[in-house]
């Protein structure tokens, strides 16, 4: 074999080797591509499962919310009120029990309150009703207390301070900026300190129980408050 034939065979061998390397690389790339596609499919399936689970959870939550709203709506619809003529009061009544009439009837009651010479109670009846609902206080008692402490005409010192139940600090009436602020301070004080068990002034839920700390030195305070209450519903 001469030199030219040897050189030719070497070239052929090199070419064959290069072809084999290229084929092997392509086979590896093809296998890797198939594996990557399979992994991507698995990830997509897992994501679809997660999405389905989230949607199922959201649907359950929405159904629960709808059920809750429906229940609340039924409660509102089924709530029963008494009439103005059916309101009852007593000296031993539970002052945390509402009088039982609707806001519209309470507004009528305040509008027809003849002793409300300045219109204070009618002007603030929405606020009074809402605060008594918020702090669980009988509306007739609260109005009677205001009348007992401030007078039906709301004396000037109570009117100027927006302090209608004589809340004191350092011997002076506490001043509030608006009637709404003063009325809320009053209902909050009564609820937290006088009418809730564990409150610093709690002795019970009747007028005489409140009197023990609210006006301890008076023997006429209970009768005064109750008398004002009777004027409201007579």
- Name the pLDDT band for 183 (thresholds 50, 70, 90): very high
- Name the pLDDT band for 14 (thresholds 50, 70, 90): confident
For residues 98 and 147, membership in a common domain is answered with: yes
Given 35, 63, 79, which residue is the final one in a domain?
79
pTM reported for the whole predicted model? 0.68
Average pLDDT over the chain, rounded to an integer:
84
Lookup: tokens for 56: 């199922």
For residues 46 and 156, membership in a common domain is answered with: no
For residues 103 and 116, membership in a common domain is answered with: yes
Domain that holds residue 180: 84-233
Q: What does the alpha-carbon distance between residue 219 and residue 199 come to, in Å, rounded to a whole number?
A: 23
Query: For residue 32, what pLDDT is reported?
Result: 46
Burial of 147 (0-12, 13-18, 19+ CB in 10 A): buried
13-16-20 Cα angle (round to 5): 140
By the 8 A CB rule, do 233 and 87 touch? Answer: yes
Given 79, 95, 120, which residue is the final one in a domain?
79
What is the pLDDT averaged over residues 122-144? 98
For residues 56 and 134, membership in a common domain is answered with: no
- Helix (DSSP H) and strand (DSSP E) numbers for the chain: 9, 2
For residues 203 and 117, membership in a common domain is answered with: yes
Count CB atoms within 10 A of the CB of residue 191: 19
Count of domains observed in the chain: 2
Residue bearing tokens 């605060």: 131
Q: What are the C-alpha distances in Å from 218 to residues 35, 84, 145, 213, 222?
A: 93, 32, 14, 10, 8
What is the pLDDT averaged over residues 142-147? 98
- Please say if the pLDDT value at position 145 is more than 60: yes
Query: For residue 234, what pLDDT is reported?
Result: 85
pLDDT digits (tens, 9 = 90+) for 185-224: 999 999 999 999 999 999 999 999 999 999 999 999 999 9
Q: For residue 95, give the CATH number of its domain.
A: 1.10.530.10
More confident residue, 186 or 16: 186
For residues 60 and 124, membership in a common domain is answered with: no
- Please say if the pLDDT value at position 49 is more than 50: no
For residues 178 and 100, membership in a common domain is answered with: yes
- Please say if the pLDDT value at position 7 is more than 60: yes
For residues 120 and 176, membership in a common domain is answered with: yes
For residues 216 and 129, membership in a common domain is answered with: yes
- Please say if the pLDDT value at position 173 is more than 60: yes
For residues 64 and 180, membership in a common domain is answered with: no
- Please say if the pLDDT value at position 82 is more than 80: yes
Percent of residues, the chain, with pLDDT higher than 70? 68
More confident residue, 139 or 77: 139
Count CB atoms within 10 A of the CB of residue 182: 24
Query: For residue 198, what pLDDT is reported?
Result: 96
Given 79, 99, 129, which residue is the final one in a domain?
79
For residues 16 and 131, membership in a common domain is answered with: no
For residues 164 and 223, membership in a common domain is answered with: yes
What is the pLDDT averaged over residues 150-156? 96
What is the pLDDT averaged over residues 131-147? 98
């Amino acid at each position: 074999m001469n030199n030219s034939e040897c050189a030719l065979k070497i070239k052929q061998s090199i070419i064959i080797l290069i072809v084999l390397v290229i084929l092997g690389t392509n086979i590896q790339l093809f296998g890797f591509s198939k594996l990557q596609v399979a992994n991507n499919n698995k990830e997509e399936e897992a994501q679809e499962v997660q999405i389905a689970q989230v949607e199922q959870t959201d649907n359950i939550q929405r159904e629960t919310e709808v059920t809750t709203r429906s229940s609340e709506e039924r409660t509102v619809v089924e709530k029963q009120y008494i009439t103005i003529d059916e309101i009852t009061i007593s000296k031993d009544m539970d002052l945390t029990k509402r009088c039982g009439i609707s806001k519209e009837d309470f507004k009528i009651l305040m509008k027809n309150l003849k002793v409300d010479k300045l219109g204070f109670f009618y002007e603030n009846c929405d606020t009074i009703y809402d605060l008594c609902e918020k702090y669980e206080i009988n509306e007739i008692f609260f109005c009677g207390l205001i009348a007992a402490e401030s007078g039906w005409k709301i004396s000037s010192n109570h009117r100027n301070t927006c302090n209608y139940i004589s809340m004191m600090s350092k011997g002076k009436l506490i001043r509030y900026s608006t009637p709404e602020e003063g009325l809320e301070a009053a209902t909050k004080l009564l609820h937290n300190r006088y009418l809730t068990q564990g409150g610093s002034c709690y002795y019970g839920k009747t007028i005489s129980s409140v009197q023990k700390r609210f006006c301890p030195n008076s023997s006429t305070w209970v009768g005064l408050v109750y008398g004002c209450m009777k004027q409201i519903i007579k």
